[in-house]
Amino acid sequence: MSQAAHRTIPATPAAILVRSPYGGAPLGEIGVASVGEIGLAVARARAAQGQFRLSLPFERRALLDALASRIADNAEELARTICAEVGKTIREARNEVRRAQNTLRLSGDAATFLDGEVLHCGIVSGGVDRLASITWQPVGVVGAITPFNYPLNLLCHKLGPAIAAGNAVVAKPSPKAPLAAARLAELAIEAGFPEGLFQMVHGGAETAIGLARAPIDLLSFTGGPAAGLALKNASGLVRCLMELGGNDPLFVLPDADLDKAVATAIAHRFEIAGQSCAAVKKLYLHTDIEAEFTERLLAAVAMVKTGDPASVDTDMGPVIDEDAALVVERRLNATLAGGAKLLAGGGRAGTLIEPTVLASVHADAPVIAEETFGPVIAIRTFQRADDAIAEVNAGPYGLQAGIFTNDHALIKKFTRDLAVGGVMVNEGPDFRAEHVPFGGIKSSGLGREGVRIALREMSETRVVID
């Protein structure tokens, strides 16, 4: 573990001790920001943004490229910090650091293409000979609240577009994993960010509410629906962008490449020990391939190596803390008591949960009735696509879905009829490209992330008619 993993953040009288999910070793201490400190941070951000809003697109791109380069120079330190504070495997952590660089560079590129348009006002009888110029202007100060599971890249998904659009950012990372985020703020200063343009406040739910109530101009939040609603209510008329999770399905049809579908199900469910918003929460198998697919799945699950996330040989580490592990355990036990069959795993040792596969899972079983952050593959079966689609659409979430089939008619049906924000064909629901819109409907959120669309989400439309 690097020295960065033991970084100590200067503490105020109220402080949070950050511990490793694997073994519980103390990693650092963060000071909890008071309401007054939040207000001062927002005031400094507004002062900085007053000048930065006049910056040119190439200057914003250069700034974001410089930060991406600082991340590259400190990639291993950041990866080991993420591995330590999240329990993410070192391979997963290194991949997140790589993706964070891409997010910032793509944001810089997008800054140079924040195009407006010109409309003629004389398009109808009685119109006038005037032109309307429509441009995009920065909103001002963005409040960014991020979760523990991708502490670096999800912050970059808020920071990159905000800076590219000409805004300032005050961020609040999860108190469960704040150290990589704090290091990013340091690297931003090294990269030449103007003083006050990117600041960070630390704390839990009260700090999040305090930031939402502060005089910000836009709130960008990634987390759960209950917290999202509380923040939306606290922020009043401030525009909100919210990614609130999902209960995402993966459908496997009879003509699917079963080996690829098996590998995808495992990769998209056991990554970060199942703690991804778009992970495969429900696996829908067509009855024609249920037995064969399940046999191949169990063989692959048996090969997943769990343990110390710092080891390059480990495939899956722990969940974020003991409380999270207990939630998963309770839902597993209740689901089994309701008639589900345990095909693999099911055990727990502290924060380590065995890769688990359940069959004969009822649609209202606790493990899939709500979004479950844990390494549990819950199998549902179906014969008619319409029935499986209707079951998914009846739920409160609508983030993403994956389907494995080469049948064009079925692809058309699933992509047309599923009530979700994105459908991945011959891919899992957890697939994401940094520049592509990402988000959901219903309880899964408001607005979209993905650097190109987020740039406009974080801008205001201005019309000048001359």
Instruction: Go through the domains of the chain in sequence order and give each one's CATH number.
Output: 3-244+444-465 (3.40.605.10), 249-433 (3.40.309.10)
Residue 13 has pLDDT above 60, yes or no: no
Residues 6+ apart with CB under 8 A from 416: none
pLDDT digits (tens, 9 = 90+) for 372-387: 999 999 999 999 999 9
Residues 6+ apart with CB under 8 A from 7: 27, 28, 81, 179, 182, 183
Cβ atoms < 10 Å from Cβ of 4: 22
Which pLDDT score is estimated for 103? 98
pTM of the model: 0.94
The CB-side HSE value for 346 (13 A sphere, CA atoms) comes to: 14
pLDDT (mean) for 407-416: 98
Indicate which residues carry an active-site annotation.
Answer: 243, 277
pLDDT digits (tens, 9 = 90+) for 237-289: 999 999 999 999 999 999 999 999 999 999 999 999 999 999 999 999 999 99
pLDDT digits (tens, 9 = 90+) for 129-151: 999 999 999 999 999 999 999 99
Residue 10 has pLDDT above 80, yes or no: no
pLDDT digits (tens, 9 = 90+) for 81-128: 999 999 999 999 999 999 999 999 999 999 998 889 999 999 999 889
Sheet of strand 141-145: strand arrangement: 198-200, 168-172, 141-145, 218-222, 239-243, 445-446
Determine the 3-state secondary structure of 215 from DSSP.
coil
